[in-house]
Structure 1
Amino acid sequence: MGLTPANTSVLPKAGFIIGGEKTTDSSIGTYDHLYPATGKLTQAIPLGGKAEMDAAVAAARKALPGWRELPANEKRKLMLGFAALIREHFDEIKSIVMTENGSPDMMAEAFPEWIADLFEYNAGWADKIGGDMITTWPVPAFDYTIDEPYGVVGIIVPWNGPAISFGQMIAPAMAAGNTCIIKPSEFAPYSCIRLGELALEAGIPEGVINVVPGGGEGGSALCSHPGVDKLHFTGGGHTAQKVLSAAQPNMTPVGLELGGKSARLVFADSDRQKAVQAALMGCIPMSGQACIAGTRVLVEDSIYDSFVADVQNAVGYVKVGDPADKDTAMGPLIHQQQMERVLGFAERASANGAEVLTGGQRMGGDLAEGYFVGPTLVANVDNSHEVVRDEVFGPVVSFMRFKTEEEAIQLANDTPYGLAAYIESDDLTRVHRVAQALDAGSILVNNAYGLPAAAPFGGNKKSGVGRVGGIHGIREFIRTKNVYISMA
């Protein structure tokens, strides 16, 4: 029967949005974007380089005084209008998300509402950002602080969830009074382009949001630009080092939301059905291409064998296939190279003595032309195995035993990452105790999987620096000025 072809009719024309103008001419060439489910061409993506980034920074700097000084209530109204327009284009945005990175319908349909909610929530902060009165001594003085925007913010977003990252980063940056340049990956540029177009339709002033898709050359030009006042990067640790190096000569401050190797602690007193479903969440959302995924499942020894068997049985009910099919739970990986990387992890795990219970191979039949790998469960591993230490960024979940609560915490924290951790237990006393001991930025309990707009999100250790979400996300994009008036 074959897969549904990519819905290219819904895609915006690929190009750049700079200072309110849509351009398609690239100074460095194009990239052929392939629909991950079929490997077929959608469009040639113009790539942004130094020339495009120079123009975007100039446009953002030109727009900065007007946006910064715009009354806060007017900023709020414009952002709320943008959120409403996003909701009006629900079906279009959902289809774009599905086509750019192969997200299944059942997941992509959550994105437009999520993005709109992020803009609505952060719009509420636009007229509440202020400062503090400071107590002074030993001489009389009047001391206060002013919260002000950095200025021009460069934002680099990943290919696994560019539309969500658009909302997570641009909404608080705008609410704080900054103007923005967003660089989506050439692997998934369409949602950011269309959101940039909708921002203009909603009345967001020209130059406040500039969209420049591209790869490493564009990223380097943005990060090293002296006209950029703050950077925020979401992606992998290797690229983050390049971002920091490029930003260093200008001493540009950088926020980082990086990878994870999150542990899920399954205690014997947990709800078995919920815990089994939770274990599969390391595979299913975004086909495991999610930094927050709980890919290390630590199971109490007394239930380990039966629990792993239950998860293995549940895999048979997970539909992997056509993103357009509303029953599909897992779509393809983003491209050929990522698929080969994931398969390499499974192959080496098996060669090193681990037991690959399911998956670990490219899927055939109607899926053979796409980049499909089914849920891959790996048992008989310990914390020294590569598949446990490194971020696979694919549908691969490993299982390990623990005997005591203390051992579970030690295993969970024995990682260079610290983005998230999960606890499955019906003992709330234990939950609070373990949550405090885990070294991670987000602790999610009992099959929890969500990042509400009001909640801070970010990592410890090699998982990053800074937070997005809530007031913490606003603070990521403001700096504080102190004013001291002597009254002596």
Structure 2
Amino acid sequence: MSHDRDTFFIGGGWAAPASTDVLEVVSPHSEQVVARVPEGTPADIDAAVAAARKAFDEGPWPRMSPEERIAVVEAFSGLYAGKLAEMADLITIEMGSPTSFANLAQSPAPWMQIESFLTIAREFPWEATRPGALGGPVVVRHEPVGVVAAIPPWNVPQFTIMSKVIPAILAGCTVVVKPAPETPLDAYLMAELLMEAGVPEGVVNIVAGGRETGEHLVSHPGVDKVAFTGSTAAGRKIAAICGEQLKRVSLELGGKSAAIVLDDADLAATIEGLKFTALMNSGQACVAQTRILASRANYDNVLDALVEGVAKMQVGDPMDPATEIGPMVAQRQQERVEKYIALGQEEGARVALGGNGMPEGLDHGWYVRPTIFADVDNRMRIAQEEIFGPVLSVIPFDDVDDAVRIANDSEYGLAGTVWTTDDKAGLDVARRVRTGTYGVNTYTMDFAAPFGGFKNSGVGREFGPEGLGQFTELKSIYTSLPAT
């Protein structure tokens, strides 16, 4: 089955590209081209922004009632639910996510987001009257922020598209989505479902492209807000552009999260949990808890159990349902991870599992061996820098205060966990670690609650009413009329 495309989704239909430039989508497993799609140019972005601008300034969408927009998104949600398996397969094909994870998170979680945002939108205070401090009533309105540039990464493409597109359009905004060049295919399927659901023309536009295309979109004068998920380095550049233009911006960036294993933790259950929280999506996850903190007294027990558990994880073809760790998205990512594995050894850390070289039984694909470093000092680069691959650092701590100090000794603040049989002690640790999300004996993203990071992990929040509010402007209307 060919996944080739020759158009963009602009203005409610399929639009011819402005150039003959092509993006080749390459399977990280076979290293073969699996699809070719147009590569967006500044001219294509101009067309997409013009369509979004027209839809916002002149079209019906921002002027519909919230209930009318909700009805259209409900139709989209129903159609999306029928395509979860197809969507999961597309993402596995284009970026190598193990099909087990793809069918757990790459498509069901985006659909759950849609449903969650629909629930939130039905209860959201789009317009409310409150008593004013000076005696008269004040009408407070949430109005759409305008044209939104939505820029997702390649690791969880639909997940990060939905966190932007759904709250944006529910708020009455219009959107230009720029998928990552590695993962454009899933967005085409999404576009087909949007059309079928009756989303008006120009409300959502999709142009895939690389860094230059993205920079043109971010800096475009027709864009009112940028919503970005990706690296902290790219986030800084986007924030600088938006700051210069006083453009609204929300950034979900990197992480180097810590999992604290207290001595009373159920070790077997903890290792099962860490295998997911640390190595989900083959380690290509911003929330991955790749620093494992264990007390000096319990260090060897935690390390041995972690090595034993990870060593049993199956590495290989991402389309095999038994595979737990697949390839890196691209050769450059494979090389990046391998450089960090070499760096860890140069820094004095000990390889307890894995190391450089292809996993056993594989002779092609952009794979790396799941690697666990022991005797890691938190000051080492492998403990401070986001590797974005299946590489874990096990770091010793003296006591709980020391564990919290180490967890907080990072430029990032996105996620984390603590593992203990004492829920009260776990909550105490959770309150002290400076991250935007945290788990006690688990880690998840609840779409009813805000998600985002402290420090260099980002600006703003996604999910929950807070995530919907990111796509609105607040207006206060002062009136002498009595409140109704």
User: TM-score normalised to the size of structure 1?
Assistant: 0.94
Contact 1:104 1:324 in 2 (8 A): yes
2:131 alignment partner in structure 1: 135
Contact 1:17 1:197 in 2 (8 A): no
2:258 alignment partner in structure 1: 263
Contact 1:282 1:396 in 2 (8 A): no
Query: Of residues 94, 97, 103 in structure 1, which corresponds to 2:97?
Result: 103
**Alpha-carbon distance, 1:95 to partner:** 1.0
Q: After superposition, give the CA deviation of every residue in 1:320-349 in whole Å (9 maximum; x if it has no partner).
A: 011111111111000000100000001011
Measured in 1, the distance between the counterparts of 2:22 and 2:193 equals: 24
**Alpha-carbon distance, 1:173 to partner:** 0.9
Equivalent positions of 1:34-433 (< 5 A) are 34-64=26-56, 65-110=59-104, 111-129=106-124, 130-138=126-134, 140-363=135-358, 367-433=362-428
2:467 alignment partner in structure 1: 473
After alignment, is 360-369 or 50-59 more displaced? Answer: 360-369
Measured in 2, the distance between the counterparts of 1:40 and 1:323 equals: 14
**Alpha-carbon distance, 1:283 to partner:** 4.6
Q: After superposition, give the CA deviation of every residue in 1:233-281 in whole Å (9 maximum; x if it has no partner).
A: 1000111122123323421111000000000000011111111123323
Contact 1:37 1:367 in 2 (8 A): no
2:3 alignment partner in structure 1: 11
**Alpha-carbon distance, 1:10 to partner:** 6.4
2:458 alignment partner in structure 1: 464
Measured in 2, the distance between the counterparts of 1:116 and 1:364 equals: 34
| Structure 2: runs of 5 or more not aligned | none
Contact 1:223 1:231 in 2 (8 A): yes
User: Structure 1 stretches (4+) deviating beyond 4 angstroms?
Assistant: none
- AA of the residue aligned to 2:129: M
**Alpha-carbon distance, 1:131 to partner:** 3.2
Aligned CA-pair RMSD: 1.7
Q: After superposition, give the CA deviation of every residue in 1:384-442 in whole Å (9 maximum; x if it has no partner).
A: 10000100011111001112110000000000000011110111111111111110000
Contact 2:143 2:472 in 1 (8 A): yes
After alignment, is 29-38 or 127-136 more displaced? Answer: 127-136
**Alpha-carbon distance, 1:158 to partner:** 0.3
Measured in 1, the distance between the counterparts of 2:4 and 2:401 equals: 52
1:363–1:250: structure 2 CA closer, same or farther, 3 Å change rule? Answer: same
**Alpha-carbon distance, 1:223 to partner:** 0.6
Q: How many residues align?
A: 478
Contact 2:435 2:454 in 1 (8 A): yes
Measured in 1, the distance between the counterparts of 2:417 and 2:360 equals: 35
Measured in 2, the distance between the counterparts of 1:225 and 1:74 equals: 30
After alignment, is 325-334 or 281-290 more displaced? Answer: 281-290
**2:26 is the alignment partner of 1:31:** no
Contact 2:2 2:35 in 1 (8 A): no
- AA of the residue aligned to 2:173: N
Measured in 1, the distance between the counterparts of 2:359 and 2:471 equals: 46
Contact 1:79 1:120 in 2 (8 A): no
Q: After superposition, give the CA deviation of every residue in 1:267-312 in whole Å (9 maximum; x if it has no partner).
A: 0111111111233235531111100000000012221101101111
Measured in 1, the distance between the counterparts of 2:224 and 2:207 equals: 17
Q: After superposition, give the CA deviation of every residue in 1:113-135 in whole Å (9 maximum; x if it has no partner).
A: 22222112212333443234343
Measured in 1, the distance between the counterparts of 2:11 and 2:121 equals: 22
- AA of the residue aligned to 2:338: L
1:3 alignment partner in structure 2: none
Contact 1:63 1:206 in 2 (8 A): yes
**Partner SS for 1:210:** strand
**Partner SS for 1:442:** coil
**Alpha-carbon distance, 1:84 to partner:** 1.1
| Structure 1: runs of 5 or more not aligned | 1-8
- AA of the residue aligned to 2:472: I
Contact 1:38 1:367 in 2 (8 A): no
**Partner SS for 2:366:** coil
Q: After superposition, give the CA deviation of every residue in 1:86-131 in whole Å (9 maximum; x if it has no partner).
A: 1212221121011111011111112332222211221233344323
1:482–1:51: structure 2 CA closer, same or farther, 3 Å change rule? Answer: same
1:372–1:26: structure 2 CA closer, same or farther, 3 Å change rule? Answer: farther
After alignment, is 373-382 or 409-418 more displaced? Answer: 373-382
